[in-house]
Amino acid sequence: MTAIGAALDGVAESPVWSLPDGQVEELLDGAHRLEGRLAELTARLVEEADRRELAKRAGASSTQAWLRHRWQVSPADAKHQVALAASLAGGLELTRRALAAGDLTRAHAGVIVKVMDSLPAGLGDETLEAAERQLVDWCRQFDQVEVARLGRRLWEVVDPDGADSREAALLERQESDAKRQRQLSLGTDGFGLHLLRGRFDTEAAAVIAAALDPLAKPLPSTADGPDPRSPGQRYADALVEVCRRQLDAGDLPSRGGEKPQVMVTIGLDQLKTLTGSGLLDTGERLSPEAVRKLACDAQVLPAVLGGDSRPLDLGRASRTFTPTQRRAIGLRDGDGCAFPGCDRPMAWCDGHHIRHWIDGGPTDLANGVLLCGYHHTTIHQGDWVVQLAPDGRPSFHPPTWIDTNRRGRRNQIHRRNLASDGRSG
């Protein structure tokens, strides 16, 4: 290990920009193989530390806890290290040799451990060795995700006659374990980014995917070009859209006698002048522009606050655009998002005040337009401007970097759909 460290010290400052392509590829593969070889050495040392009870001597509750604090790694990583060390020392000799030779990664070895642990007792040494050999061979051909998938069919290799019944039993156990371990958490990094983490069983994941997939399709290309969102961004937007629709439907159980809703507090002057911030009931803050967007088609609860911010007068909630108004706007513009090139239907849209209500804009057809969530945000960012043309239909004027003359554009997709249905408007 001293020699390995010295060798790495010798190349730590060596420039790689001058290397020929072939040598870069060769060294890259070599470095990758070294990771596996060091993982095998680490596993042997972890097992030896566990055998000697070094953790107990140091006052730690377990080798896992000892490694976690000694290396400053996550509990999951420490657990995987200990599990891999125990499995390699407990009989997975083929896996240990392949790891020591650099043929496997630590992640691959972890998958082999999980699959071998799923095999029933009493298969016999020859059968278990055949199963491990097959897994090691798969690891040389496929990534760990694919090896895990193939591992579910390992029964066909080690026990063809009982493959179906044993796979059924394995699936039941995996489904039960997955359901027991299901979880979902929502946290924040303190800088405006919120992290959603979760684990679901296969059935639940299929339900979630079925709900999100239709809403996560890329938007049609517009004057801005193709939909700029990554797949991950589209699925994030789809999740918010599903929740927004459920809130709008009003089918959720009440909370404290009221329907669930997003509540935000902001001063009237701040909302008018776009200064300061709005306060969510969660304690998080929103920009005034985000509050204005929320208020376009939401329930607004006006409150007059005293000098110490105590409520002096609390008004009743009222919806800015009624269902009748939304339908009338949809009939005028074509039953969907009015932004040029967008094919999102009316059910996906918010009602947007062309002149914001906080600036004196009325809540009527002459001041309303339907926009999907994505294009509603686009309009509030201020690059595009929407106006009603003399014929009463909305016209969208792009920023100068798209069209220096800012000529108005219209959505023709919904109009064509109306015409094909034999409708007009």
Which of the pair, 297 or 398, is modelled with greater confidence? 398
Q: Which amino acid is at 210?
A: A
Residues 6+ apart with CB under 8 A from 188: 194, 195, 284
Separation of alpha carbons 349 and 413, rounded Å: 15
The better pLDDT of the pair 310, 19 is held by 19
- Lowest mean pLDDT segment, chosen from 6-10, 141-145, 227-231, 272-276: 272-276
- DSSP β-bridge partners for residue 196: 186
CA distance 308 to 160: 77
Least confident window among 22-31, 146-155, 302-311, 372-381 = 302-311
Q: Which of 86-100, 262-276, 370-384 has the highest mean pLDDT?
A: 86-100
pLDDT at 374: 83
Q: Which residue has the higher pLDDT, 233 or 155?
A: 233
Q: Determine what percent of the chain is predicted with pLDDT higher than 90.
A: 12
Contact 110, 84 (CB under 8 A): yes
Does the pLDDT of residue 416 top 80, yes or no?
no
Percent of the chain having pLDDT more than 70?
76
What's the CA gap between 423 and 418, in Å, rounded? 5
For residue 68, the one-letter residue type is R
pLDDT top residue among 420 and 27:
27
- How many angstroms separate the most distant Cα atoms in the chain? 86
- Pick the most confident of 171-175, 278-282, 297-301, 418-422: 171-175
Residue 45, pLDDT above cutoff 90: yes
- Min mean pLDDT across 120-129, 254-263, 337-346 is at 254-263
CA-to-CA distance for 77 and 301, rounded, in angstroms?
48
Digit-coded pLDDT (tens) for 142-167: 998 899 888 877 766 666 666 666 66
Do 166 and 178 meet the contact criterion of CB atoms below 8 Å apart? Answer: no
Which position has the token pair 């409708």?
Answer: 423
Is the pTM of the predicted complex or chain greater than 0.85?
A: no
Whether pLDDT at 300 is above 60: no
The pLDDT of residue 167 is 63
Averaged pLDDT for residues 365-374:
86
- Work out the number of other CB atoms within 10 angstroms of the CB of residue 85: 23
Q: Is the pLDDT of residue 391 over 80?
A: yes
More confident residue, 220 or 143: 143
pLDDT band at 46 (very low <50, low <70, confident <90, very high): very high
CA–CA gap between residue 358 and residue 361 (Å, rounded): 7
Whether residue 139 contacts residue 108, with contact meaning beta carbons closer than 8 Å, is answered with yes
122-161 b/e with 16+ CB inside 10 Å = b? eeeeeebbbbbebbbebbeeeebeebbebbeebbeebbee
Q: Which residues contact 329 (CB under 8 A, 6 or more apart)?
A: 321, 351, 365, 368, 369, 370
pLDDT tens digits, one per residue of 52-97: 999 888 888 889 989 988 998 888 888 989 999 998 888 889 999 9
